[in-house]
Amino acid sequence: MQIQPNDIVFVLNPNAGNTLRPRQLSAICHAACSQAGHNAYVVTTRTPAEAADAACLAHEAGAAAIFGCGGDGTLSAILQGLPNGSPIALGAVPLGTANVWAYETNLPNTPLAAIAAQLAALDGVHGETMWLDTGRVWSTNPDGSVASQRFLLMASWGLDAAAVSGIVGSERRSRMKRVLGEPAYFLSAVREALGRRAWPISLSLDGAAPFTVDAAMLTIGNTRMLGTWLEVNPRATAIDGELDLLLVEGAPWRALALSPFARYGWLPQGPGVTNMRFRHLEIAPLRDAPPMQIDGDPGPATSYAIDIEPQALRALCPAPTSEVLGG
């Protein structure tokens, strides 16, 4: 059986942090689509590459929408398979650890309710589909060739990325993530901050002269939140045609010390803490390359440029908010 035009495609990630088995989740997807008068096509993927391939096939077949059933990493994997400007609408069934995109867009927490709300947006009953910006990170492969990866939420360098890599690189901390959920990232950040030095990097925004900083953390936000706890880019919206940069200078513990302020949206501006907006950023490490993450998964350490892609993604938004989507 192949994907048909106007199908609703569901990409299931069985490794996401949820308790539903693929068979149960598939039944929920079919039931929600049947109630809304749509045909569901469900595919279980084991790797990000398989999810990207499924998205590419859905685009070529003319599917109406594609849902990532998992966490933000599942959505990111799907994004890699959708061409810039694809008419397919992206939806989410929040089953991951943090589910930042679902948090940012106020999606219902249960799978059936989340799917129903987004199908109502697709059909114009309640909510809408919106064209959103995406970011693109450019990097150099070991053989010298150039690669790129799109992101929906955020890319970061430094302490935050070290915390993500620490969880992925440790089976014990991966188990802690499954048990504790999002707080496991904070505990990983505490461990990674101890004894680390700042990462010297060079930055150039929108073609301006480069400047050098000793960075504890650098976040590039298309939306506001680092996880669902920390509002690190409070002015970011996914429709403004720009990306928002937060730079914390100094030792990594300084970024950790600011987290209680970011938790309540009170992140101070001043010496060593800077927010800026840009459309094109070039970054170069001056010593060891800082760790890097894209939408919650480790990214390439050889990244050297970041671009905004205005109105590149069509997404299902049943409850758009001014904080995230300008609606």
Asked which of 94, 126, 158 is the last residue of a domain, the reply is 126
Question: pLDDT band for position 267 (50/70/90)?
Answer: confident
Mean pLDDT for the chain overall: 89
Query: For residue 188, what are the CA distances in angstroms to 58, 170, 196, 261?
Result: 37, 10, 13, 19
pLDDT score for 165: 83
Contact 237, 223 (CB under 8 A): yes
The Cβ-side half-sphere exposure at 228, using a 13 Å CA radius, reads: 18
Do 178 and 305 lie in one domain? The reply is yes
* Residue 194: inside a domain: yes
Torsion of CA 198, 230, 52, 91, to 10 degrees: -170
Question: pLDDT band for position 271 (50/70/90)?
Answer: confident
Q: What percent of the chain has pLDDT over 70?
A: 92
* Residue 318: inside a domain: no
pLDDT score for 96: 87
Task: Tell me: pLDDT of 308 over 80.
Answer: yes
Do 140 and 278 lie in one domain? The reply is yes
User: First vs last Cα of the chain: how many Å apart?
Assistant: 39
Contact 76, 20 (CB under 8 A): no
Do 105 and 218 lie in one domain? The reply is no
Do 139 and 205 lie in one domain? The reply is yes
Which H/E stretch holds residue 9?
A: strand 8-12
Least confident segment among 52-56, 131-135, 212-216, 234-238 = 234-238
* Residue 106 burial class via C-beta count within 10 angstroms: exposed 0-12, middle 13-18, buried 19 and up: middle
pLDDT score for 321: 72
Do 93 and 195 lie in one domain? The reply is no
Least confident segment among 17-21, 46-50, 157-161 = 17-21
Distance CA 295, CA 297 (A): 6
Query: For residue 140, what are the CA distances in angstroms to 37, 144, 179, 222?
Result: 46, 6, 36, 23
Asked which of 99, 126, 153 is the last residue of a domain, the reply is 126
Contact 320, 282 (CB under 8 A): no
* Residue 238: inside a domain: yes
Asked which of 98, 126, 154 is the last residue of a domain, the reply is 126
Least confident segment among 187-201, 253-267, 272-286 = 253-267
pLDDT score for 153: 96
Tokens encoding 80 = 């890699």
* Residue 235: inside a domain: yes
Mapping DSSP to helix (H, G, I), strand (E, B) and coil, where does residue 83 land?
A: coil
Question: pLDDT band for position 326 (50/70/90)?
Answer: low
Contacts 24+ apart (CB under 8 A), 176-179: 177/17, 177/97, 178/17, 178/97
Do 140 and 50 lie in one domain? The reply is no
Do 79 and 99 lie in one domain? The reply is yes
pLDDT score for 217: 95
Do 170 and 294 lie in one domain? The reply is yes
Contact 152, 237 (CB under 8 A): no
Contact 82, 54 (CB under 8 A): no
Question: pLDDT band for position 171 (50/70/90)?
Answer: low
Do 103 and 243 lie in one domain? The reply is no
Question: pLDDT band for position 59 (50/70/90)?
Answer: very high
Do 152 and 270 lie in one domain? The reply is yes
Least confident segment among 124-138, 145-159, 267-281 = 267-281
* Residue 316: inside a domain: no
- What domain range is 120 assigned to? 8-126
* Residue 154: inside a domain: yes
Do 60 and 106 lie in one domain? The reply is yes
- Say which residues have a Cβ less than 8 Å from residue 170's Cβ, sequence separation at least 6: none
Choose between 252 and 144: higher pLDDT: 252
Number of domains in the chain: 2
Q: At what angle do helices 111-122 and 22-36 cross, to 10 degrees?
A: 40
* Residue 83: inside a domain: yes
Distance CA 225, CA 56 (A): 28
pLDDT score for 102: 93
Tokens encoding 168 = 């992925």
pLDDT score for 113: 97
CATH code of the domain containing 87? 3.40.50.10330
pLDDT score for 256: 87
pLDDT score for 327: 46
CATH code of the domain containing 284? 2.60.200.40
pLDDT score for 173: 55
* Residue 274: inside a domain: yes
- Give me the mean pLDDT over the 64-80 stretch: 96
- Give me the mean pLDDT over the 154-158 stretch: 94
Do 141 and 257 lie in one domain? The reply is yes
Global pTM reads: 0.91
